Structures are given as C-alpha cells and as structure tokens.
Chains A and B, each alone.
Chain A
Amino acid sequence: MAYSDKVVDHYNNPRNVGSLPKADPNVGTGLVGAPECGDVMKLQMKINPETQVIEEAKFKTFGCGSAIASSSLATEWVKGKTVEEALSIKNTDIVRELSLPPVKIHCSVLAEDAIKAAIGDWKKKHGIEVQVAEKASH
C-alpha cells in the first residue's frame, strides 16, 4: 500500500510526541483503542482553565503509519485552539488532510475520539458537565 506524502512526513517526523503529567489538574488525558485491534492512541492536552485554550498537546500511538499520522496531526491542530474549537474537529477533516484510503478511516475516527476523550477528562477534573454520545461518526 502506498502512503500519502503527508502520512510519511508525520510518520518520519511525528509532532509533539511525549507525555504530560496525568495528575496535573490542567491536563486532560484520552486513551482510546485496544491492543487487540492494533491501535491505541494516547492524547494529552494542557488546557488553561481561564481561557480554555489548549496550550500544549502530546501524543503516543501504537498503530499503523496512518494512526500515528492521524494522532500527530491532531496534536498540531488542537494546539492554540479553545476547547470548543478543538471539539469541532471531525475525523473527515483528518481523512482529507492526510488523504487516507477507506481502510484507514478508522485511524481518523480514533484520533477524533482521542481529542474528545482528552477534553472530557479535563472537563471532569474541572467539574464541567461532559456531554455523552460524542463519539465520532464513521
């Protein structure tokens, strides 16, 4: 299978790899996927409680090149955005940006889920009500 240049670029030079302190009240952590399925993404964001701006984002991903690229791209996109803006990122935006083939769409879905899960975790820490049923659609 041939990868798009953007997938190859994110794979070779993944942006924002690493971890943020899980216990920090301003850090939201999202861990989605499962090892049996061949994809696990961990996305973390440091969010300013005053401005609700995502000041830092880090990821680690177990998965194929497209999964790594999707999560790397997600960290790039959420940085500097407000929580509400980040929540509006759709998996289809990721598919388009990375030119993912149909068999790799689940990677983008996972990335969207990871964004939502990380923000959900942060909201929970701050006692903000989390909307349920925010799963990405295929």
Chain B
Amino acid sequence: MAVKLPIYMDNHATTPVDPRVVEAMLPYFTEKFGNAASRNHSFGWAGEEAVETARQQIASLINATPKEIIFTSGATESDNLMIKGIAEMFREKGNHIITQAIEHKAVLDTCKNLEKHGFEVTYLPVQRDGRVSLDDLKAAITPKTILITIMYANNEIGVINPIAEIGKIAKEHGIFFAVDGVQAVGKIPVDVQKDNIDLLAISGHKIYGPKGVGALYVRRRNPRVQLSAIIDGGGHERGMRSGTLNVTGIVGLGKACEIAQKEMPEESAKMLALRTRLKNGLEAKLDEVFINGSMEHRLPNNLNMSFAYVEGESLLMGINDIAVSSGSACTSATLEPSYVLKALGVGEDLAHTSIRFGLGRFNTQEEVDYVIEKMVQVVTKLRELSPLYEMAKEGIDISKVKWQTA
C-alpha cells in the first residue's frame, strides 16, 4: 500500500487530536456549553461535572488527586505559574532558583525574567548524554535555594532526566521541585509521589488533545504547596488561576490523558519498535550519522540524529513531503544552531546537520520505511554536493582546516 503524503513525524511540536478526544469534546461546544462556575443551573452543573471528570483523568495518569490539578491555557502558562508562583510566594525564604541549560524557553525565559527582579538563577550544564549531573545539582544548592526546576524529558533530544533522584534531593533539602512534564506525561510513566514532584506542567496538544489547554499539578500534602497567582480575577481554580474554564478544551485534555494511561504500554512498545526500525534503517544505509543524546534514557518516540556534512535546512528541503525539524541555524529565527545541542557539546558543524524525528500514535511502519528511503536518497545526493564530505573522504580533518569566514 502506498503511503499517504505528506508524512507527519514532528510529534514533539504538536500532535493531531485523537478522534476519540474530538468526539468527547463535541457536546461541550453546543448542548453542554455552560460555564463551570455557574452554580445555580443545570448548564453550569454539566460543565462543572465535565471539568471534575477531567481532573480525575489527569490526576490518575500522574498518581495525584483531582484537587491537585489546576487548569491553564497551556504548558507555557503552567511553567510560568509554577516558577513565578513559587518565587513570589517564597521570596522571603530565599531568592535562589536552580534550573538547567536545555530547558524549554518557557522555563529559561521565565527564570531570566526573575533575574531582573532580584532572583539568582543557576543554570546547570548538562552532560554529553543530555542529562543533568546529580553532583552538579547538589553542589549548586545553597541555603537560599527555594526551587529546583528541571524538565522530565527534553523536547529536542527526548532525553529523560533522573527525576526521581532529583526529587529525592529536593525533598531532603526542603526545596520545591517543579517539573516541565510536557514531553513525558502520557508517553512514559510519570508518578508525582514516587518522583517527589511538587509541581508538574502538562500540555494538551502534545498528547493528542487540543491546543490552548494545559494543566498544572500542585501538591497538596507533604508539603502543601502554595502559589501566588499570576493572573488576577474571579478566583477560579482555588485562587491560583482566574478565568472562565475552557470546558471543551479541559474535556479534551482529560480524555487524552485517559487514553494515554490506558494505552501507554502498547503505545510505547509500538513507538520503540518504529524508532528502532528508523534508527537501524538509517544507520545501515548511511555512514557518519551520529545520535545526539543518550539512547538509554530517551523517550521511545524520539530520534535526534546528525547527518554529517549535510546542512539541515537543505535536507529538510529535499524531504519536503516529510514533516520533521532540524537544529540547523537556518531553520531558526535567530540563525543560531540549537542551544540544546550546543549545551551537549555537539560541535556547531554537526548541530547544523541535525534532524529531530518525533514519532506519534498515528505513524506506521510503512511511513518509517518511506522516511528511511527518502532520507538516504537525499542525504546521499547532498553529500555528493558537499565539499566537506569530499574533503573528509580525501582524509582531510575538517576541524583542522583554517576556514575563511566573512
């Protein structure tokens, strides 16, 4: 059977909404449109009931209780709320925050913003495999540290941090532990109890739910975490997030979590099988390809690979019927190659040649085979065109060449 083009393999950026999620959402656009905060009529009650069901579905996925789930507009807001909310609430206690170099911009830029307001932030480096070192973390803790914020899994390289170990360290020191769980929740088991997570940011559209909805887990026991709100208004969500609830989106997020929980074992096995097929296929047919980040501690649906001597944007241009993304500078607004790969110590020359494959629920083996074939074809063609590949084949060490830069 011929594969349907274009192929979507950029599921770290966003995912399509699962048809079962759409189906669950539909009644809440029309018949059940009530405001969940309307306490005195059946329209409001229906909305409230739907929201409480979603809270239960989300809580169940991460081993929390429903009351610990706060709804937001998405994970960027959740990241902002968990970091700024703790910073403001506990600034009397201390002004030091620890994070790491390859967090999502929603965390990094929030921390940078706090630096302008008297906070000190330590940006831990990552190791060559993309993970945070526990020794570095311990060494960075001071009596003024109030918050450690480290992502569960990275959005570019899919590398999973030692979250349970970090949670333990945070707890021992009485420091709050906030986690950007966007890429991990719904993909791998996340347990806020086992991992000692105090705050966890969740996104709807990365887990086959709708865009524009997210959640924040806020621990209520051992310890009870209090947050300052960043949006003022009607005092919804226990005062932590004002604004009329996006009932339709919340229903979708809840349903997406329910499906993810139920299907995780078989889905992650499928992702792993497809990813292995993709990796093996590419490695068998192409020389000088390099994996960025740990293979051992990695989301099952991620592959981030550098195709030496082939610039990423030109590669994307050649595979224009496949949607993936590149760490090449030319694909970013800043003309800088990926800060994530740089932090790993990947040379800028190789960072320019990287491609991120994000497999998803709806990808098939036929699609993976097509991607392998097309990648091999385009990489081979572009290497024929690459002066660097020619030089390397002549035995010239590219890193020793004195380049004339403009």
Contacts and interface: CB of A to CB of B under 8 A. Distances in A.
Contacts of B278: none
Contacts of B314: 11, 63-65, 67-68
Given A34-B403, A34-B405, A36-B347, A41 B337 contact: no
Nearest to A31: B387
Contact of B405 (A8, A33, A62, A103): A33
User: Is the interface on chain A under 10, 10 to 19, 20 to 34, or 35 or more residues?
Assistant: 20 to 34
Interface in B347-406: 347-349, 352, 384-390, 398, 403-406
Interface residues of B, number: 28
B6 to A, nearest CB: 15
Given A32-B404, A106-B406, A38 B352 contact: yes
Listed residue (B309, B317, B384, B405) with the most chain A CB atoms within 10 angstroms of its CB: B317
Given A65-B314, A65-B317, A35 B388 contact: yes
Contacts of A32: 404, 406
10 contacts: A3-B317, A14-B385, A31-B404, A34-B405, A35-B388, A38-B311, A41-B387, A65-B313, A113-B404, A135-B406
Closest 5 CB pairs of A and B: A35-B349, A34-B403, A42-B387, A36-B348, A64-B313
Given A35-B398, A65-B317, A113-B406, 20 more contacts: A11-B318, A35-B349, A35-B403, A36-B348, A36-B352, A37-B329, A37-B348, A38-B337, A40-B386, A40-B403, A60-B390, A62-B311, A62-B388, A63-B314, A64-B313, A64-B314, A67-B311, A68-B385, A113-B404, A117-B404
Interface of B: 309-311, 313-314, 317-318, 328-330, 335, 337, 347-349, 352, 384-390, 398, 403-406
